[in-house]
Amino acid sequence: MPYRLGADLEVRCVSEPNVLRVEGLRVHYQTPAGPVKAVDGVSFAVQPGERFGLVGESGSGKSTIALSLLRMIKPPGRVEDGSVTLDGVELLELTDEEMRRVRLARISLVAQGAMNSLNPVKRIREQIALGLREHGAAREGRAFDTFLTELLERVGLRRGVGDMFPHELSGGMKQRVCIAMAISLEPQVIVADEPTTALDVVVQWQVIDTLRRVQSELGAAVIQIGHDMGLMAHSVERIGVMYAGKLVESAAVRDLFRAPLHPYTQLLIASLPSLDGKERLQGIAGSPPSLLNPPAGCPFHPRCPFVMDVCRTTMPPPREHRPGHFAACHLYETS
Ligand code: SF4
């Protein structure tokens, strides 16, 4: 039985086909040199049960979006503008206590680097019990043992793992524990921020398979953050491509890989190794821009092989150029 919120939050839900909707999100980090525009006007929506991936280079704003969805941005970072609605509830307007109740119960995080997310001096069972207690869903004695066994088995771990400390587990096991915690209250949305960082390739695939299986069993939506286009292509249904704090393209995986529209996406895909390994790998010339002083117009223009005059002055708005396929690029503007 999924954990339920109090009636005060339920009553603020409105009918909405998307379980999560992000509109015009802007997140800045204040620095002595000025604001770093880590996320600059990002909008997207995710349907119940959907697997949506966000890809991009380091510093493109992916992880800042992940933290914003859970209201976990810490100073000097701040959400400057925008809206994040979960099942019709505006998360950015909740009180801290209301948001604490929503976190884990309705939207949960599988954070980067499992070791940093687990308490090194508490056994796994204590850490899972704490999460339940904090949300008024504590189980005692036998009921908790049964719950724990089922939860661990769901992510492919034996029951004995509950009695272990994090340092006794391998990297893959720790990441499975993090997934178990993230699903312990059966949330509607799971945000997985680079869930396979620092794992070897075989374990990466196992962890991704586990995440995929449990979200499908729960019917939860997943927002998976990463930089590995290949891994992403096999684990999500729709991909959004981030560049310099902006979402520059989004489409179903198949459409994005078959016919990418944005030049940055085209170059990202061209930089992937082919199976036969005969083609020379292509890099992307130049470096990502400073988010302190991003270039005027399209932020990709200093690196873009198709740059035009208008690109240097005007940011193209994201438009639906094919059904379900959005891109922000002047190449496809008709007038
Ligand atoms: Fe290149 Fe211009 Fe498109 Fe930006 S808007 S990606 S610079 S063509």
Q: Using one digit for the tens of pLDDT, what is the confidence trace for 275-284?
A: 666 667 677 8
> Cβ(301) to ligand 1 under 6 A?
yes
Judged against a pLDDT cut of 50, whether residue 33 lies above it is answered with yes
- The Cα 24–Cα 27 span in angstroms is 10
CA of 306 to the centre of ligand 1 (A): 6
User: What per-residue confidence (pLDDT) applies to 230?
Assistant: 85
For residue 263 and ligand 1, the question of a CB distance below 6 A is answered with yes
pLDDT tens for 218-277 read 999 999 999 888 889 989 999 999 999 999 999 999 999 999 999 999 999 988 877 666
Q: Is the pLDDT of residue 12 over 70?
A: no
Residue 170 has pLDDT above 60, yes or no: yes
One-letter-per-residue 3-state SS of the chain: CCCCCCHHHHCCCCCCCCCEEEEEEEEEEEECCEEEEEEEEEEEEECCCCEEEEECCCCCCHHHHHHHHCCCCCCCEEEEEEEEEECCEEHHHCCHHHHHHHECCCEEEECCCHHHHCCCCCCHHHHHHHHHHHCCCCCCHHHHHHHHHHHHHHCCCCHHHHHCCHHHCCHHHHHHHHHHHHHCCCCCEEEEECCCCCCCHHHHHHHHHHHHHHHHHHCCEEEEEECCHHHHHHHCCEEEEEECCEEEEEEEHHHHHHCCCCHHHHHHHHCCCCCCCCCCCCCCCCCCCCCCCCCCCCCCHHHCCCCCHHHHCCCCCCEEEECCEEECCHHHCCC
Q: With the C-alpha atoms ordered 107, 109, 110, 115, is the resulting torsion angle positive or negative?
A: negative
Average pLDDT on 27-44 reads 96
Q: Which atom of ligand 1 is nearest to the CA of 308?
A: 2
Predicted pLDDT of residue 155: 95
* Ligand 1, pocket-test mutation among 264, 311, 313, most atoms within 8 A of CB: 311
How far is the C-alpha of 36 from the C-alpha of 312, rounded, in Å? Answer: 20
| Most confident stretch, 112-121, 244-253, 287-296 | 244-253
CB of 253 within 8 A of CB of 50?
no
Contact predicate 301/312, CB 8 Å: yes
Tokens 């049960």 sit at which residue? Answer: 49
User: 309 C-alpha vs ligand 1 centroid, how far in Å?
Assistant: 10
Q: Which of 162, 165, 155, 179 is nearest to 125 (CA)?
A: 162
pLDDT at 91: 97
pLDDT at position 9 is 45
- Nearest-CA neighbor of 306 among 263, 268, 276? 263
Cβ of residue 269 lying under 6 Å from some atom of ligand 1: no
- 142 pLDDT more than 80: yes
Question: Rounded to an integer, what distance in angstroms lies between the CA atom of residue 221 and that of residue 64?
Answer: 19
For residue 17, name the pLDDT band (cuts at 50, 70, 90).
confident
Mean pLDDT of 31-37: 95
Average pLDDT, the chain: 90
Atom of ligand 1 nearest to the CA of 263: 6
**Residue 144: band (very low, low, confident or very high) from pLDDT cuts 50, 70, 90:** very high
pLDDT of amino acid 335: 56
Cβ-based neighbours of 293, under 8 Å, separated by 6 or more:
34
CA–CA distance, 296 with 91 (Å, rounded to integer): 31
Tell me which of 21-25, 95-99, 172-176, 312-316 is least confident: 172-176
> Can you give the pLDDT at residue 114?
67
Tens digits of residue pLDDT in 186-229: 999 999 998 887 788 888 888 899 999 999 999 999 999 998 88
